[in-house]
Amino acid sequence: MKQLSDNQLFKTSSFIDGKWHKGTSTFEVLNPANNQRVANVFNADTTETALAVSAAKNAFTLWSKKSANDRAILLRRWFDLIIEHKNDLAKILTLEQGKPTAEAIGEITYGAAFIEWFAEEGKRVYGDTIAAPSNDKRILVIKQPVGVVAAITPWNFPNAMIARKAAAALAAGCTFVVKPAALTPLSALALAELATRAGIPHGVFNVVVGEDSVGMGKVLTQHPDIAKFTFTGSTFVGKKLLTQCATTVKKVSMELGGNAPFIVFEDADIDAAVEGAIVSKYRNAGQTCVCTNRILVQQSIAEQFTQKFAKAVKKLTVGDGFIEGINVGPMISTAAVDDVKQLVRLSVDLGAKILVGGSIDDQGDKFYQPTILTNVTNDMPIANNEIFGPVAPIITFDSEEEAITLANDTEYGLAAYFYARDIGRVWRVAEGLDFGMIGINEGIISNAAAPFGGVKQSGNGREGSKYGLDDYLEIKYLCMGGI
């Protein structure tokens, strides 16, 4: 167990209506780097989930009536406390999720940035007046918070995916119930502790932690008192949750899977492309929805790019995220490693070649070596599935049109990246790619000011940016007559 400067941040029970709820049973949280137990966490169930919903419903009356300024003051305090405690929060994050310390600190500041951003953005919710069809009427549009928001968040960003949703919800005047992944509940609970210290009123921010994902998920998607549901996770699970939300016609936003192409054209700055591919492929051990999934390289520069890329990949260090200088930590579970192994094996059987890596690292069973596969085609399993691991398949192409066709040949549409210098090409490709977010000569695109979200089966809605509040607001039309 790592020493924290503030041990009160290490919480192990659900946070409902401003209180910590101990239950009767517990579940274990493990450190993926060494499989050691980090905590026994009290297991909340459907009853506690419903309790959290009713706390959020009661709190909504007062929270929604606070001024945007008053909400901003509390959110800003929450942000300040998160930044003040970022090293402790990063330790908790690495303990339960595995990512290297530098990345964990990066995630804490990334998550906090959404709270800072939306604290201010909440003050900029504008309505409208519209010319009426007759002179005795006036038409106005106001925006109001949707109500209670429920969220289910993933293990790959145990802090930031909660902060990104909660910040927008709370700034808009909504109250919030989140169920974080059972693999990584501790970061969420630490956020709750800091929310309460910031003075965010009881019932406004609730966290339910438990292993009954199906049961708790049903409450959060079907409870009539929940107005909006938001999810970050796989497309497979997202589709099920969407169906459940249909029973009460909830407003939904979904941030689902991706299959990001990373295209390198012959006019690219190849060194910059290598650098971009390294960060966008291997951060978080390849476990992000916006991670590069396929590298498409123009045939004329394929050899040059591949050699430079392989040299950079061989330099990546694998190990426990707490060790200084480690670049690639463990994957979250042995099941996740098995999925990656299977995709590599099936693709090698079809003709792919392992250039670098290709097996479990001697650091332990959850460490998969940073890997490059060449001789890959777009129809191989490694290219048409979301890998969610540190494997980079390289596919070659001849023309710009072919690159766009290959890139778009997927049911996903979250992020895409390309490297090129020709300005005409930059516009043609940016407009031709069917993805919600495009990195142009850039491998890291996530930040609080930008609209994060996908098209096609990668989901709907946008998080962050000035657009991020829309998902938590209803438009109300007022028609004044008799004038």
Residues recognised as catalytic: 255, 289
CA distances from 97 to 124, 211, 473 (A): 36, 17, 33
The nearer residue to ligand SIN, 8 or 447, going by C-beta atoms, is 447
Cβ at position 452, least distance to ligand SIN in Å:
6
The nearer residue to ligand SIN, 200 or 340, going by C-beta atoms, is 340
Size of the site for ligand SIN (CB under 6 A): 8
Select from 71-79, 283-291, 321-329, 340-348 the region that touches ligand SIN (CB under 6 A).
283-291
Distance of alpha carbon 245 from alpha carbon 218, whole angstroms: 9
Tell me the DSSP string of 88-109: HHHHHHHHHH---HHHHHHHHH
Select from 66-74, 285-293, 319-327, 400-408 the region that touches ligand SIN (CB under 6 A).
285-293
Distance of alpha carbon 16 from alpha carbon 19, whole angstroms: 5
What is the token pair recorded at 379?
Answer: 């129809």
Cβ at position 482, least distance to ligand SIN in Å:
50
13 binds ligand SIN (CB under 6 A): no
Residue indicated by tokens 């407003």: 251
Cβ at position 273, least distance to ligand SIN in Å:
20
Handedness of CA 391, 395, 400, 402 (dihedral sign): negative
The nearer residue to ligand SIN, 157 or 412, going by C-beta atoms, is 157
CA distances from 287 to 78, 333, 341, 367, 464 (A): 28, 11, 14, 12, 20
151 binds ligand SIN (CB under 6 A): no
15 binds ligand SIN (CB under 6 A): no
Instruction: Judge contact between 261 and 406, C-beta under 8 A.
Output: yes
184 binds ligand SIN (CB under 6 A): no
Residue indicated by tokens 């000011």: 449
Pairing of β 473-480 and β 138-145? antiparallel
If you compute the radius of gyration of the chain from its CA atoms, what whole number of angstroms results? 23
The nearer residue to ligand SIN, 37 or 239, going by C-beta atoms, is 239
Instruction: Judge contact between 400 and 264, C-beta under 8 A.
Output: no
Taking CB under 6 A as the criterion, the residue among 288, 293, 371, 374 binding ligand SIN is 288
Burial class (CB within 10 angstroms; exposed 0-12, middle 13-18, buried 19+) of 415? buried
Select from 21-29, 282-290, 358-366, 387-395 the region that touches ligand SIN (CB under 6 A).
282-290
* Binders of ligand SIN in range 436-465 (CB under 6 A): 446
292 binds ligand SIN (CB under 6 A): no
Cβ at position 441, least distance to ligand SIN in Å:
18
CA 164 to chain centre: 8
367 binds ligand SIN (CB under 6 A): no
156 binds ligand SIN (CB under 6 A): yes
What phi and psi values does residue 12 have, to the nearest 5 degrees?
-130, 20
Contact letters for ligand SIN, residues 394-433 (x by CB under 6 A) = ----------------------------------------
Tell me the DSSP string of 179-222: EE-TTS-HHHHHHHHHHHHHTPPTTTEEE---S-HHHHHHHHHH
What phi and psi values does residue 4 have, to the nearest 5 degrees?
-105, 150
Q: Can you tell me whether residue 247 is helix, strand or coil?
A: coil
221 binds ligand SIN (CB under 6 A): no
Cβ at position 209, least distance to ligand SIN in Å:
19
Cβ at position 82, least distance to ligand SIN in Å:
16
Cβ at position 79, least distance to ligand SIN in Å:
17
347 binds ligand SIN (CB under 6 A): no
Taking CB under 6 A as the criterion, the residue among 63, 157, 282, 472 binding ligand SIN is 157
The nearer residue to ligand SIN, 211 or 255, going by C-beta atoms, is 255
The nearer residue to ligand SIN, 204 or 289, going by C-beta atoms, is 289
Instruction: Judge contact between 384 and 410, C-beta under 8 A.
Output: yes
The nearer residue to ligand SIN, 348 or 438, going by C-beta atoms, is 438
Taking CB under 6 A as the criterion, the residue among 181, 226, 290, 372 binding ligand SIN is 290
CB contact set of 380 (below 8 Å; sequence gap of 6+): 346, 347, 350, 351, 352, 393
* Binders of ligand SIN in range 222-281 (CB under 6 A): 232, 255
Task: Provide the binding-site residues for ligand SIN, judged by CB under 6 A.
Answer: 156-157, 232, 255, 288-290, 446
